[in-house]
Chains A and B, each alone.
Chain A
Amino acid sequence: MLSIALKILWADAGKSAAMVLGVAFSTLLMAQQAAIFVCLMANSASHIAAAQDVDIWVADMRADYFDDPGALPEALVERVKSVPGVAAAAPYMRSSVVIDSTTMVEQGILIGLDPYSLMGAPQKLVAGSFRSLRASDAFIVDRRGYNDIWPGDDIELGRRLEVDGRLLHLVGIADPPSPFISMPLIYTSTETAKLIRPSIAPGFILARANDPAAAADVAAAIAERTGYGAFEKEAFSEITIDYYLTNTGIPINFAITITLGFIVGTAIVAQTFYLFVSENLRYLAVFKAMGAKAGQLISMTAAQCIVIAAIGFSLGIAGAAWFFETVPDKVAAFKGFYLPSGVFLKTALAVFAISLASGLLSIQRAVRYAPARVLQG
């Protein structure tokens, strides 16, 4: 029966193609948009997870998330260090600045790190060394920022860049994960950061626990002793992601697009399948007259739906995979974006649900169709 169902399906090439393309389009839209959303949200906290040697982030209680640091007193570093269980602590400064490379002027993000502990520095370097930040007016830029500032140029250390009117020299290229805000990242020592921006203060105090497994307890002790917020890095990541989820229009916009993909896919597949079943109603009724059970008709339709869904999903997910294989290498805004397995699975579920629901709704007519009607012309 199933091979007969598929022969009937493929005989109507136009409708089969329309259904496959409907499912493929729906899959592409849902998977691509959902993956971008997931990656974007993950990027909002990517620097927290990737910061070197950091177990605990100490922040102003009024700071909502990573990209909105408060201004903490420098003396807080010593107070944090004095909390039992803390192995090391260092300031982490962060401020927006204007950068001028003579060919272009744009905004960047200045990050001031302790050049000796290097706590909070990204883990990967493409060129140079973080220790070079100990030199006065030295800076390290992220690889994407380098391409923004000097587009098309090969990597060349020693280049000069004006940051908020102060001339810095390049000592390294870092490769941090993509941030949520895509601006060049200028890493300097805390001393150089203060020379560029005299009013800059630590946005966070970074702490390393003697025992990383006990970081939650140490964070609680820091909060109790200092009166500031102290969060394990996982908890701080969640706070940051939650902020973007609840305080921006990003989830709603993506939800609208993903829902549209679902609705468009459902509409195309349901309508086409309904027409397909309507046109085959006469033959399905003949099968009923011959004694076919409702279950046989339903399984025939389910087989047709599953095949349409499988082909459409494969095409759509291949399109989405191609996007994430090629575009992130060429478009900086998508750097590090990928197709998460959760998105793959949930899209597959949605697509198979669309196809099966469309088919089963359509087949209801055939199941209810009286076999005697086929005798009445």
Chain B
Amino acid sequence: MDYAVECRDIQMRFREGEGWRNVLRGVNLQIRSGELTIIAGPSGCGKTTLLSILGGALAHTGGTLDVFGRRLSSMRPSQMAGFRRRHIGFIFQHYHLVPALTAVENAAMPLIIAGTPAAKACAAARREFERLDIGHIADRLPKRLSGGQQQRVAIARALVHRPELILCDEPTAALDSRAGETVMEILKEIAAQESRAVIVVTHDQRVFSFADRLIELEDGLVIADHNLTRNKGADSAGQRAA
């Protein structure tokens, strides 16, 4: 079977003082398109590092990583940037909308970066806004938007260039429960209806119920992998650290 993401023995270590700190110690994962996968775990367990590696924003120090059949491990930084531009959408915890740009201009940025003329990119972003039912805030500056609206703009930005893989870093952490649920519903719908792979990193247990699959990470290792769609919460093939 072709996976959207396939990690084999992914390792990552950072220099810390005079020694090294192993953040990921051999992660094995296969993620399919059409699923919303949540990677959960306590702070410092390596989930954001793993997300960065999956998104080609950070080069891992060991193992192999294939995303849509392309081996990211062997790519140069410029090739990784090109890969991110075409195949990956990011949603950040703090939205990271540029304050000087309107909501629609923010959402159009991935297309503009890819070389689409600004007018055409903004038109595409407006269509995305209509789909997410936020057309009425398209011309507002971020400071005039609520947290939930800003996160929906960030979702529009992650989707506008039609990426196959959407990576979300704590997308509900800064939102109240209702806004958080709305965001998760949108992400689940995107995964299911558009057959995209959506990976959400979070420690917000309120949103676990939206996942098709829940992967638990601890001390740089996958300690459990739950297929929530098939088994209604029962553990499937958990991966335990040796």
Contacts and interface: CB of A to CB of B under 8 A. Distances in A.
Given A4-B105, A372-B57, A290 B113 contact: yes
A293 B101 contact: no
A293 B81 contact: yes
A287 B113 contact: yes
A261 interface: no
Interface string A2-22: 011001101110000000000
A289 B85 contact: no
A370 B109 contact: no
A376 to B, nearest CB: 6
Given A289-B90, A292-B113, A293-B81, A376 B48 contact: yes
A308 to B, nearest CB: 15
Given A370-B58, A375-B48, A7 B96 contact: no
B169 A375 contact: yes
A289 B57 contact: yes
A8 B113 contact: no
Interface string A307-349: 0000000000000000000000000000000000000000000
B184 interface: no
A1 interface: yes
Contact of B51 (A7, A286, A375): A375
A143 interface: no
A370 B84 CA distance: 14
Contact of A4 (B48, B51, B92, B118): B118
Interface residues of A, number: 26
Interface in B9-62: 48-49, 51-52, 55, 57-58
Contacts of B94: 377
Interface string B89-104: 0101110101111000
A11, A286, A287, A290 interface centre (most CB from chain B within 10 Å): A290
A283 B169 CA distance: 16
A176 interface: no
Interface of A: 1, 3-4, 7-8, 10-12, 282-283, 286-293, 296, 370-372, 374-377
Q: Which 8 A-B pairs have the closest CB atoms?
A: A291-B85, A11-B100, A372-B52, A372-B58, A291-B84, A371-B57, A372-B57, A286-B96
30 contacts: A1-B112, A1-B113, A4-B118, A7-B105, A8-B101, A10-B100, A282-B96, A283-B96, A283-B98, A286-B92, A286-B96, A286-B98, A290-B84, A290-B110, A291-B81, A291-B82, A291-B85, A291-B88, A291-B110, A292-B81, A292-B85, A292-B113, A370-B57, A370-B58, A371-B52, A372-B58, A374-B57, A375-B90, A375-B169, A377-B94
